[in-house]
Chain A
Amino acid sequence: MKRKWLSGPYVLWMVLFTLIPLGVVLYFSLTDSMTGEFSLSNLASIVDYWPIFLRSIWLSIFATLICLVIGYPVAYYIAHCKPTTQRLLQMMIMLPMCISFLLRTLAWVALLEDTGIINNFLTSIGLSPLPLIRNNGAVILGMVYNYLPYMILPLFTVIMKIDPRLIEAAEDLGCNRRQVFAKVVLPLSVPGIVSGITMVFVPAVSTFYISQKLGSPGTILIGDVIESQFKAAYNPNLGAALSLVLMVLIFVCIGVMNRFTNDDEESMVTL
């Protein structure tokens, strides 16, 4: 029973560098930026940013759903390949993630610009250029592109683990192929769906680079606001308050989602 003390250093580290920092965030969000005294003004001014919060949530829910709709068929396809093909495709899904997402986003800028690759091509064949960038659509595209692998991989892991005998059993009991999917495959992939949604939604709702490069001043997200509080406006107290609210919102979202599934501690599928 002494063995549990082996995790002592780790627990100490995590308390020091995850729990206490969150305490510091709480402290900063409850103090005034000038006087350093207790104040609720930071939290009160959150109201002004409420539309931006809503837009962030709205856009990332949209991006998450698109990821799910695109990702599920792909994951399903990969899960039903031969093991060698499976490994290859899985690797190919992970490969883009190894390249800085900043550069990949810049590549999208180059593609979508008013004088970018796509519009150059359109003008060269005599069509008029399209307004592809600096709108909500471009931001969602950026989110989907960047976080799609985080949806596909957990889905793939879960679908692959579904025992083929269950599918045979369902067929044996009279399900047609659509019923097999609806009544067996889909319910069994719920853990993968949940962790996929979490892994896409959380980074999407808090992103700031994607919206800076692909969005317009009218589409700034909560991540941009937080970033500017630390790097431009320098009001860490307001930034802390915003972070705190963002964190609580995300925990509420995940909590609500986990209500629908009884998953255990290790259900966060690792890549």
Chain B
Amino acid sequence: MRRVNRIFTVIVFIFLYIPMIVLAVASFNKGTDIAIFQGFTFDQYKELFRDDHLLRLLGNSVIIAVLSMAVATVLGTVASVGIHSMRGKLRSAVMGLTNIPMTNPDIVTGVSLALLFAFVGVMLRINAVLGFWTLLIAHITFSLPYVILNVMPKLAQMDPDLTEAALDLGCTPVQAFFKVVLHEIMPGIISGALMAFTMSLDDFVISYFVTGSGFVTLPVEIYSYTKKPIQPKVYAMFTLIFVAILILMVAMNLLQARDSSKKLRRKEARG
């Protein structure tokens, strides 16, 4: 049974990675047709680094991702502490609010924000209201719930006496947060921030509706290729991004593995 399951799992992984392989191979292709391999070349990579436009779009994506991550992480962490102290109806109301962008389809979130911005634009008589700021607001909005949902469980796991112990030893509530609580919930904050970052970097649907011609991110630009043939250097770019993320994840994985084996050893040493 377990062996059947293993084979099945391998097949599913192959299924998940086929398009990656296609993209990676295409990035070394001499020809422009992704379906026909005409010979090996690094030209696409050279092209890529000469293309200021693509690199600037990538830069735009990163800027939005970093800014929205920073704002969402701070705002979300502070909010989590607040929500954690709530009880009953108030708490469910706020958590319900948090779940709206999570359960709403992206297209509805995008459309609703676009309409809001258009509405405000008309009221304030601003012409091209869509751009950097609307994009940033949208990204912060859909990142916030991820921060909250990662930080809240850490707060719940934390021994509530720790805060009281800090107060007991003379900390003001603010000191208690920075000296004790923050250390305890840090893993949640980090994973929330990482999720916010990747969600923002990868988002297409919402960005597509709330951005104007002035400030475009990479995924939105790629969508516009629907109309014109895609340039193979884009494959090169994503192959590089893929490798970069792969290295990052492997590194993190190794660090974690080392950390946990250290913990295990310590536990064993204690008997």
Direct touch of chains A and B (CB < 8 A): yes
> Which residues in A have some Cβ–Cβ distance to B below 8 Å?
1, 3-11, 13-15, 17-22, 24-25, 28, 70, 73-74, 76-78, 80, 83-84, 87-89, 91-108, 110-111, 113, 115-117, 120, 145, 148-149, 177, 198, 202-203, 205-206, 208-209, 212-213, 223, 226-227, 230, 236, 239-240, 243, 246-247, 250-251, 254, 265-266, 268, 270-271
Name the one of B5, B36, B144, B153 contacting A120, with C-beta atoms under 8 angstroms. B36
CB proximity of A93 to chain B, nearest CB, Å = 7
> With an 8 A cutoff between CB atoms, is B180 at the interface?
no
B230 within 8 A of A: yes
Once the chains are docked, how many angstroms separate the CA of A28 from the CA of B108?
A: 13
Q: Which residues of B contact A9 (CB under 8 A)?
A: 75, 78-79
Main secondary structure, interface of A, reads helix
The CA-CA distance from A73 to B8 in the complex, in Å, is 8
- The answer to whether B133 has its CB under 8 Å from any CB of chain A is no
Asked if residues A96 and B20 are in contact (CB atoms below 8 Å), the reply is yes
Question: Which residues 202-254 in B have Cβ within 8 Å of A in the complex?
Answer: 202, 204-205, 209, 218-219, 222-223, 226, 230, 234-235, 238, 241-242, 245-246, 249-250, 253
Contact between A100 and B204 (Cβ–Cβ < 8 Å)?
yes
Q: A13-B144, A18-B97 are in contact. Are A111 and B153 (CB under 8 A)?
A: no
Range of interface residues on B (Cβ < 8 Å): 35 or more
Whether the Cβ atoms of B226 and A213 lie closer than 8 Å is: yes
With both beta carbons as reference points, the residue of chain B lying nearest to A91 in the complex is identified as B249
Interface check B158, CB cutoff 8 A: no
Q: Does the CB pair B97–A103 fall under 8 Å?
A: no
**Are A3 and B85 also in contact (CB < 8 A) when A14-B141, A18-B141, A116-B35 are?**
yes
Point out the residue from A15, A87, A213 that lies within 8 Å of B97, measured CB to CB. Answer: A15
Sample of 19 A–B contacts (CB below 8 Å)? A13-B75, A13-B140, A17-B113, A18-B141, A77-B8, A83-B260, A87-B253, A96-B16, A101-B202, A102-B223, A103-B234, A107-B34, A203-B106, A206-B105, A206-B108, A226-B107, A243-B107, A246-B107, A250-B104
